[in-house]
Amino acid sequence: MSDWGRFQQYVRLNPNGCLDWVGTLRNGYGSFWFRGENIGAHRFSYLFHHSEIPEGYHIHHKCHNKICVNIEHLEALTPKAHLLLGDTFQRRNSLKTHCPKGHPLSGLNIVKRKQGWRECNECSKIRHRKWVADNRSQQNTYNRRKRHITIFMQRVM
């Protein structure tokens, strides 16, 4: 039997238009044995209809049904685009227009951190001023010790 014939044995039409996978599941996704390995059933469906998945791309379920293998409900997306379409932390943050303190997250009030996240510039300044105030006595102690060591070293030499 062909791979496609074996595949179709595990597909059932859902009234909402999805073609649901009724075979083995892994992490909520259909799993299909193909060319010596288990691959996602949705990935096999995409491969069968398009012959390849672009390098580094994810297959997205437009219907948000993890067991759907209907090719009309599948599309190849970059990992970033895929994250921003799902119910993810990254998507919820990308939709925020104001920080928790009410400052706008736009224009010059956004700081991009090296880790990739964005931060409210106003809140960052407030937090830095508080840190400086809280650590001023430690800094003054450090500077006094440094001055005494410098003076002592000058006298010794």
Confidence of residue 90 (pLDDT cuts 50, 70, 90): confident
| Alpha helices (runs of H) in 9-120, residue ranges in sequence order | 41-50, 79-85, 89-94
Mean pLDDT over residues 60-65, rounded?
93
Separation CA 90–CA 137 (nearest Å)? 39
Q: Is the pLDDT of residue 86 over 80?
A: no
pLDDT tens digits along 12-54: 999 999 999 999 999 999 999 999 999 999 999 999 999 899 9
Confidence of residue 111 (pLDDT cuts 50, 70, 90): confident
| Distance from chain centroid for Cα 57 | 14
The confidence score (pLDDT) of residue 21 equals: 96
Separation CA 45–CA 127 (nearest Å)? 51
The confidence score (pLDDT) of residue 1 equals: 81
Mean pLDDT over residues 46-71, rounded?
94
The confidence score (pLDDT) of residue 42 equals: 95
Domains defined along the chain, listed by start: 1-95 (3.90.75), 96-157 (no CATH)
Confidence of residue 61 (pLDDT cuts 50, 70, 90): very high
Residues shown for the chain: 157
Number of neighbours of residue 147 by Cβ within 10 angstroms:
10
Q: 59 or 142: which carries more pLDDT confidence?
A: 59
The confidence score (pLDDT) of residue 83 equals: 85
Mean pLDDT over residues 83-99, rounded?
83
pLDDT tens digits along 119-152: 899 999 998 888 888 887 776 666 666 666 666 5
